[in-house]
């Protein structure tokens, strides 16, 4: 990229796809009425935002009593519940022997999923039998490895009493034991998954697993493990095993080769070609008045997938790869970079602090509760020189100087630091803009570097997935989302 264009702050984020008109006024009116009804009911039963947690996660919500038992003094903000006395749950935690046996822990094989550094907000829970002699009072023991940290320390044990009825109650118990807190308000509820990323929605489903992952941010994120680790996914592409390879821990970047076929790459390029126009950026307050081309010189097109069987198949495959419902996706943003075109280092998330003077943006990201979670970045062709995606703050290993990852770059056009991923036809990378705890990840800073082969163009695409459903959904995307939900346990 051009030299000497130093910037004090990372470039503005790429503009999101404009929601189209698929939500009719009738839908909006019905949605508003439903919201009002829920608010009235919650108000009637005295369930305010304070007792936020976890009512909403269960599939069979029991009828609410008029006087649910109060929370114990040691747990003032427990979710009040009809048929559960949290005092008993607490009592069991303190009275039962809580050291899991070596043999049961070995069967869980926790180290194969843990990491050498913390993964904030992602917690591994080994599902173990109840403590010796406690089969009547306990349904299981969970051995917890907070933040996926691989240490020699004995994991803390959480006893699961048989009276827990909902995943929400199970998550609450884990939250209390691990002293986790939820941000409340519109922030995503935490969620449990099995080790293949299938969402858990019943206690029975949870206790049948060998290992569970608790994601505070409520969406699946591939456990990074170590650089070079491979998660193997059979069945995404008929007859193939798809390999999700970790290429960076911080930021979390995984790479998948041959995810798109040559025919699919060609089709995406062919469909987008007639519509390509110069790229824009969502200017931060600090960048107001600047031209997008100061940061980004590519061309782009948001390619609607509706009615295109091939693109709908790609949608579905992206969903099965990320385990994030396709209802959370923007349309594919196809990009073309010609010789010496680039996008300087930026984040794909929208930081509410950077858009404080932009009420429309603040509303659309629910003041930070809703954001871009993951980018599945498609490389649609090969480029013989340049065109890499650079993550300047990625670090191969933790150093004494930068124990928390690479420093802020001084030059946002410099592609020589950190990790570079070069275009390779059919390959995709997934990088996460949010941490599993639901916070924005500053280390996800990245840019598209100059194409350095004269006469060549880099064709690529952003497939952005949000942490909450996006504003519009097509019938095919609804069907695909239903298909994912049918796998829930």
Q: Which residues bind ligand AKG (CB under 6 A)?
A: 14, 335, 343, 348, 389, 446, 448, 460, 462
CA distances to 199, 336, 488 from 272, in Å: 34, 10, 35
Give the tokens for residue 407. 């420093």
Reduce the DSSP state of residue 482 to 3 states and report it: helix
Q: Are 451 and 339 in contact (CB under 8 A)?
A: yes
Contact set for Fe ion, span 293-322 (CB under 5 A): none
How far out from the chain centre does Cα 324 lie?
Answer: 7
**CB of residue 9 to ligand AKG, shortest distance in Å:** 16
Residue 348 touching Fe ion (CB under 5 A): yes
**CB of residue 446 to ligand AKG, shortest distance in Å:** 5
Q: Which stretch binds Fe ion (CB under 5 A): 166-174, 238-246, 259-267, 347-355?
A: 347-355
Q: Are 340 and 383 in contact (CB under 8 A)?
A: no
Position of minimal CB gap to ligand AKG: 448
**CB of residue 324 to ligand AKG, shortest distance in Å:** 18
Closest CA to 2 of 420, 389, 377, 339: 339
296-324 as b/e: b if 16+ CB within 10 A: bbbbbbbbebbebeebbebbbbbbbbbbb
Q: Is the CB of 7 or the CB of 446 nearer to ligand AKG?
A: 446
Query: How far apart are alpha carbons 178 and 143 in whole angstroms?
Result: 11
Query: How far apart are alpha carbons 363 and 76 in whole angstroms?
Result: 32
Of these partners, ligand AKG, Fe ion, none, which one is at the site of residue 448 (CB under 5 to 8 Å by kind)? ligand AKG
Residue 441 touching Fe ion (CB under 5 A): no
Q: Is the CB of 347 or the CB of 468 nearer to Fe ion?
A: 347
Of these partners, Fe ion, ligand AKG, none, which one is at the site of residue 460 (CB under 5 to 8 Å by kind)? ligand AKG
**CB of residue 300 to Fe ion, shortest distance in Å:** 11
CA distances to 44, 329, 336, 395 from 374, in Å: 38, 10, 21, 19
Q: Is the CB of 190 or the CB of 448 nearer to ligand AKG?
A: 448
Of these partners, ligand AKG, Fe ion, none, which one is at the site of residue 142 (CB under 5 to 8 Å by kind)? none
Q: How far apart are the first and last CA of the chain?
A: 48
Position of minimal CB gap to Fe ion: 348
**CB of residue 113 to ligand AKG, shortest distance in Å:** 29
**CB of residue 411 to ligand AKG, shortest distance in Å:** 17
β pairing state of 389-391 and 372-379: unpaired
**CB of residue 447 to Fe ion, shortest distance in Å:** 7
Residue 134 touching Fe ion (CB under 5 A): no
Size of the site for Fe ion (CB under 5 A): 1
Of these partners, ligand AKG, Fe ion, none, which one is at the site of residue 389 (CB under 5 to 8 Å by kind)? ligand AKG
Reduce the DSSP state of residue 275 to 3 states and report it: helix
Residues of this chain that interact with Fe ion (CB under 5 A) are 348
């Amino acid at each position: 990229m051009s030299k000497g264009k130093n910037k004090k702050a990372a470039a503005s984020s790429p503009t999101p796809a404009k929601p189209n008109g698929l939500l009719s006024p009738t839908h909006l009116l019905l949605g508003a009425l439903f919201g009002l009804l829920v608010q009235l009911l919650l108000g009637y039963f005295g369930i305010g935002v304070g007792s936020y947690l976890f009512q909403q996660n269960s599939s069979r919500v029991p009828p609410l009593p008029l006087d649910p038992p109060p929370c114990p003094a040691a747990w003032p903000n427990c979710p009040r519940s009809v048929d559960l006395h949290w005092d008993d749950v607490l009592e069991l935690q303190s009275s039962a022997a809580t050291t899991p046996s070596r043999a049961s822990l070995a069967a869980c094989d926790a180290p194969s999923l843990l990491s050498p550094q913390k993964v904030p907000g992602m917690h591994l829970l080994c599902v173990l039998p109840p403590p010796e002699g406690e089969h009547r009072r306990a349904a299981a023991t969970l051995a917890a490895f907070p933040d996926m940290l691989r240490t020699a320390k004995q994991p803390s044990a959480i006893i699961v009493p048989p009276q827990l009825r909902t995943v929400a109650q199970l998550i609450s118990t884990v939250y209390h034991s691990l002293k986790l807190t939820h941000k409340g308000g519109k922030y995503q509820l935490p969620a449990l998954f099995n080790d293949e990323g299938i969402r858990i929605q019943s206690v029975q489903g949870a206790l049948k697993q060998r290992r569970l992952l608790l994601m505070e941010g409520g969406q699946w994120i591939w456990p990074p493990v170590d650089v070079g680790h491979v998660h193997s996914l059979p069945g995404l592409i008929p007859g193939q095993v798809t390999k999700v390879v970790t290429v960076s821990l911080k930021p979390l970047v995984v790479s998948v080769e041959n995810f798109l076929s040559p025919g699919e790459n060609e089709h995406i390029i062919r469909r987008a070609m007639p519509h390509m126009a110069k790229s824009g950026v969502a200017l931060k307050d600090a960048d107001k008045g600047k031209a997008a081309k100061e940061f980004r010189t590519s061309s782009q097109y948001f390619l609607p997938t509706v009615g295109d069987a091939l693109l709908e198949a790609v949608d579905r495959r992206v969903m099965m790869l990320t385990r994030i419902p396709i209802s959370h996706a923007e349309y594919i943003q196809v990009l073309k970079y010609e010789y010496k075109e680039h996008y300087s280092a930026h984040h794909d998330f929208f930081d509410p602090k950077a858009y404080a003077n932009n009420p429309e943006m603040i509303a659309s990201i629910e003041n930070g509760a809703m954001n871009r979670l993951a980018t599945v970045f498609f490389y649609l062709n090969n480029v013989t020189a340049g065109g890499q995606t650079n993550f300047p703050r990625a670090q191969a290993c933790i150093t004494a100087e930068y124990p928390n990852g690479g420093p802020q770059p001084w030059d946002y056009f410099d592609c020589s630091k950190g990790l570079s991923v070069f275009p390779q036809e059919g390959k995709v990378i997934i990088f996460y803009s949010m941490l599993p705890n639901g916070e924005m990840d500053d280390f996800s800073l990245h840019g598209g570097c100059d194409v350095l082969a004269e006469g060549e163009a880099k064709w690529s695409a952003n497939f952005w997935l949000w942490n909450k459903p996006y504003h519009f959904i097509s019938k095919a995307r609804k069907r695909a989302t239903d298909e994912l939900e049918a796998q829930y346990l």
